[in-house]
Structure 1
Amino acid sequence: MKISVLMSTYNDERFIEEAINSILQQTFTDFDFLIIDDFSKDRTSAILSNFARRDKRIRLVRNRRNLGLTKCLNNGLHLAKGEYIVRMDGDDISHPRRLERQYAYFISHPVCVILATEGVIIDEQGQALRDRKIDLGGMDQEEYLLNFSSPFIHSGVMFSRKAILKLGGYNEDFRTRQDIELWLRALASGMKIDILKEKLIYFRFHEESISNRNPDNLYTNVLVRMLHLAKKQGMRLSKEEATGLLRNDRGVRMYVRRILARKAFSIALSNFRSRRYLHAVDAFCKCVVEFPYAVRPVRLLPIVGRLLAVHEKRGR
C-alpha cells in the first residue's frame, strides 16, 4: 500500500460526504482510507457507516470517547498501512488529482519527507473565496512559522509515515496547533518541508470551526512558539511556566484580541460574498469592538522573545 489517507472527524455531518467523495474519486487508486470518528454526536457516524459498507478502501475506527485531534492522528499513524500519509479533514475537499500529483512529487524527489500544497479557501457552500498560496516573503520556513500562522494547510499535507513516527509523531501536550509544533520540530531535526505550487486542497472556512472561535487556541499559538524557541536557546521552560507567563502578559492579550478580530473580519467577508448580509454585519461589528485596526498581520516572534527574556530574568 503506497498511501494511507488519514482523516479524524467530529460532528462534520454537514460536509463529511463531500470530503469523503473527494478522496474516493481520486485518479490515484493505490490507497486505503482510514477514518477515525472521534465520538461524534450528530449524524456523522451513520454517514460513515454507509460509506464503509459501500467502499472496502475505507477503514473505520470509532472512539468510545472524544480524544481530540492530536491523539486521533497519532493513533492513525500507527494503524495506517501506507508508506505515505495524506492528511484530510472532514470539512475540506481534495482536488481529484491531489494524490496523483503529490505521490508523483515524492517519487521524483526521493529525499522529500513532508510535502505541502497550495489550495483554495472556500465558504460553507463550497464557493471559492480566495487562493491560499504559500508565500514566505523571503523568510526561511522556521522564521515564518515563528512569526505567523502556518502557511501550510494541514489537511493538504502529505508526509513519510516512517519519518514522522521516528520524530515522535504529533505532540499530545497540544490539542490544537499540533501541526505547527510538528513542523517546527521537523525543521529543528534537519528536515525540510517541500512545497508543491499547485492548488490541490479546498480548505473550508466556516463559523463553526473550532480554531475560529476559541481564544485558548490563540494562546496555544504563542505557547508552541515559546517552548520551541526556549528549547532552541537551551533554556529550561516547562509548559506550565510558559502558560503562566503568557496568560498574564498584556501584549499576548492584545495579540489574542487582534487575531480574534481578524477572524471576525474574515467571517464578515465570507458572509458578504455569500450574500448573508445580516451575518456579515454582525461579524464586522465584532471585529470593530474587539480590535478596530486588526486587518494588518501580527508578528509573534517579538512577543515570544520578550516573554522568554522575562523568564530568563526571573531565573537569575
Structure 2
Amino acid sequence: MNEPLVSIITPVYNAEKFLEDTIKSIIKQSYENWELILVDDCSKDSSSDIIKEYKKNDDRIKYIKLEKNSGASISRNTGIKNAKGRFIAFVDSDDLWEETKLEKQVEYMLKNDIGFSFTSYRYMRENGEKTNKVAKAPFKIDYEGLLKNTIIGCSTVLIDRNIVGDFEMPIVKRGQDTATWLKILRSEKYAYGIEEALVNYRIVGNSLSSNKMKALKRTWNTYRNVEGL
C-alpha cells in the first residue's frame, strides 16, 4: 500500500505524567510514515525534556515551543500550519492509540475515497487500565447528527487534506475540536466512523460524571458562540 505522510498534532502543557506513554503509542504504530508535531504551550514541568529525549532517537518527532501560553486552539493550529502530511491526525497528551490505529484508518479512507473519519474509543482509568466502556462510532454522521451527538473524539480523527482542503480550529477556549468538525461538515457531507475502538481516552482525576458536566458546558458554548444557534 502507498503510505501517504500523516501529520499527528499534540498540544502539550504540563503533560509530564502521561506524555511518554502517548509518544510510545505513536512510535509503536504499524503504519510508519508519520510525523509527530508536539507543540509545547510553555510547560513549566519536564515535558520539553521528555520530547527532546525522544526526538534524539526518532527524527519523525518534531518539537515546537510557543512564545507565550496560548491554549489548545493556537497550539493545534500551529501544528497544522507546520504539518507536511496529506493526512492530519490529533492525539491529546494523555491518550493512547492502539498499534493498528493509523494503518486501519488510512487504508479505510484511501479505499473508500473518504475525507474525514473517526473511530470508537475506549475509556481508560488514570492509571492506564482499560475499562469496558466504549464510545461507539456510528457508520457515518452529518452536520445535523453531530449537533445531536458529539461522538467524535479528537484523538480519533483523521482528515485527508487532498479532499477536505486546508482548515484550522476556531480560537475558542473550549470545544474547539467539535466546532472544527461542524465547520468541516458544512462542506463535507459526512464523517465516517470506524466501529473498532482504536483509541484509549484517559479519564484523569475527576469522575466520568463531572467530565460529562464539563462536556455539556463546552458543547453549549460551541453551539451558542461558534455556530450561532
Shorter-chain TM range is: 0.7 to 0.9
1:134 is displaced (CA, Å) by 2.5
Q: Where in structure 2 are the equivalents of 1:111-260 lying within 5 Å?
A: 112-134=114-136, 141-148=142-149, 150-162=150-162, 166=166, 168-172=167-171, 174-207=172-205, 218-227=216-225, 230=228
The CA distance in 2 between the partners of 1:37 and 1:206, in whole Å, is 20
The Cα shift of 1:192 comes to 1.2
Aligned pairs for 1:34-53 (under 5 A) are: 34-53=37-56
Identity of aligned residues (%): 25
- Cα distance in structure 2, aligned partners of 1:88 and 1:220: 19
Q: Give the TM-score normalised by structure 2.
A: 0.87
Decide whether aligned partners of structure 1 residues 142 and 130 sit closer, same or farther in structure 2, where only a CA change above 3 A counts. Answer: farther
CA distance in 1, matches of 2:111, 2:33: 18
| CA positional deviation for 1:146 | 2.2
Relative to structure 1, the CA distance from residue 152 to residue 33 in structure 2 (aligned partners, 3 Å threshold; closer, same or farther) is same
1:40-94 Cα distance to aligned partner (Å, 9 max, x none): 1111111111111111110111112111111111111110111001211110110
Shift of 1:208: 6.6
Contact 1:13-1:43 at 8 Å conserved across structures: yes
Q: Give CA deviations for 1:256-300 in whole Å, capped at 9, x if unaligned.
A: xxxxxxxxxxxxxxxxxxxxxxxxxxxxxxxxxxxxxxxxxxxxx
CA RMSD in angstroms, aligned pairs only: 2.6
Please say if residues 122 and 128 of structure 1, whose CA atoms lie closer than 8 Å, have aligned partners that are also in contact.
Answer: yes
Q: Hey, what does 1:69 align to over in structure 2?
A: 72
More strand by share: 2
Q: For structure 1, list consecutive stretches of 5 or more residues without a partner in the other structure.
A: 231-303, 305-316
- SS of the residue corresponding to residue 29 of structure 1 reads coil
The Cα offsets for residues 3-50 of structure 1, whole Å up to 9 and x where unpaired, read as 111111111111011100000111111111111111111111111111
**Mind listing any 5+ residue stretches in structure 2 that lack a counterpart?**
none
Contact kept? 2:141, 2:191, Cα under 8 Å: no
How far, CA to CA, are the matches of 1:89 and 1:164 in structure 2?
22
Q: CA contact under 8 A between 2:143 and 2:185: conserved in structure 1? A: yes
Q: Distance in 2 between matches of 1:228 and 1:123?
A: 31
Q: Could you tell me how far apart the structure 2 residues matched to 1:29 and 1:115 are? A: 19
Alignment length (residue pairs): 224
8 A contact 1:113–1:191 mirrored in 2: no
Q: Which amino acid in the other structure matches residue 89 of structure 1?
A: D
Superposition deviation, residue 228 in structure 1: 5.9
Query: What amino acid does structure 2 have at the position aligned with 1:88?
Result: V
Question: Greater RCO between the two (CA within 8 Å, min separation 6)?
Answer: 2
CA apart distance, 1:132: 2.2
Contact 1:118 1:199 in 2 (8 A): yes
What is the distance in 2 between the residues matched to 1:162 and 1:66?
32
Secondary structure at 2:91 match in 1: strand
**3-state SS in 1 of match to 2:31:** coil
Give distance in 1, aligned partners of 2:161 and 2:173.
20
Q: Distance in 2 between matches of 1:66 and 1:208?
A: 24
Larger radius of gyration: 1
Q: Is the 8 A contact 2:120 2:199 kept in 1?
A: yes
1:253 aligned partner: none
Instruction: With the length of structure 1 as denominator, give the TM-score of the two structures.
Output: 0.64
Q: 2: distance between equivalents of 1:186 and 1:4?
A: 18
Q: Which amino acid aligns with 1:204?
A: R
User: What amino acid maps onto 1:129 in structure 2?
Assistant: T
Contact 2:37 2:61 in 1 (8 A): yes
Q: Structure 1 pair 146/206, CA: closer, same or farther in 2 (3 Å)?
A: same
Cα distance 1:159–1:142, how it changes in 2: closer, same or farther (>3 A)?
same
